[in-house]
Amino acid sequence: MGFAGLVSHLHYHEPSNLVFVSFLVNGLFHDLCQPTSKGSKHFSQDVMEKLMLVLAHLFGRRYFPPKFQDTHFEFYQSKVFLDELPEDFSDALDEYNMKIMEDFTAFLRIVSKLADMNQEYQLPLSKIKFTGKECEDSQLVSHLMSCKEGRVAISPFVCLSGNFDDDLLRLETPNHVTLGTIGVNRSQAPVLLSQKFDNRGRKMPLNAYALDFYKHGSLLGLVQDNRYVLSVYVSLYPHLCL
């Protein structure tokens, strides 16, 4: 099939499909999946569980609300909360995200040439424009025009907050800082965040349902401990429920 075919086949998991292939290209799975002995096709339980841990971070990600981790529920079969990515995979993910943001920022700089700058220099609510001869003597317009250096894909009004194109490389930069008329924003970059936070900045833990099921094989455990809706599981993995 090849890597391109694999990416296409798993398109509905984007950007996880791209990260998965990136791990393959970097040889991380090859380094991980070492058999117990030379020439053997048997892998240790530790290797298989680590492989499942990585795959659980890539595919079928389900999050718990932040407060769920602070509760005092008793779990009978499942670990429930997914452990962090192994260090080598985590480093590779950070490297992947940085490369993607560098390429996507370069793309935004290119397509920014297609932006309608008349609209970009217009206030969104009042529709006041800061272009034309009537604004030539305006101190505000002069200030707007003077802060364009190093800012190609950034909105001229966002420039006033001290944002540069280089800020687009930072994952925490808001999506609305780019030029509005190009129809593209940072949220469309195929990056995969290792952690997710709610609107109050609280970490949302990943549900370890896939790894837990691999370990104990109990659908009842998924329902009781992982709070997983059985009908959702059956629809996703019908072949495992036969």
One domain for residues 39 and 74: yes
Tell me the average pLDDT of the chain: 82
Domain span at residue 154?
113-188
One domain for residues 183 and 117: yes
Q: For residue 79, is pLDDT > 60?
A: yes
Domain membership of residue 70 (yes or no) is yes
Pick from 30, 4, 168, 169: nearest CA to 89:
30
**What's residue 239's pLDDT?**
47
| The overall pTM is greater than 0.85 | no
Domain membership of residue 17 (yes or no) is no
Domain membership of residue 1 (yes or no) is no
One domain for residues 79 and 122: no
Domain membership of residue 103 (yes or no) is no
> What pLDDT, in 10s, does the model give residues 132-181?
555 556 676 666 566 556 677 777 777 766 677 777 777 777 777 787 78
The number of distinct structural domains making up the chain is 2
Strand ranges (E), the chain: 196-197, 203-204
Domain membership of residue 6 (yes or no) is no
Domain membership of residue 93 (yes or no) is no
Q: What is the DSSP code string of 101-132?
A: HHHHHHHHHHHGGGS-HHHHTB-TTT--B--S
> What pLDDT, in 10s, does the model give residues 195-242?
888 888 889 999 999 999 999 988 888 888 888 765 454 455 554 444
One domain for residues 79 and 123: no
**Alpha carbons 177 and 159: distance in angstroms, whole number:** 8
One domain for residues 119 and 182: yes
> What pLDDT, in 10s, does the model give residues 11-65?
999 999 999 999 999 999 999 998 888 878 889 999 999 999 999 999 999 998 8
Domain membership of residue 71 (yes or no) is yes
> What pLDDT, in 10s, does the model give residues 96-139?
999 999 998 888 888 888 888 778 777 777 777 766 555 556 67
Domain membership of residue 204 (yes or no) is yes
One domain for residues 174 and 128: yes
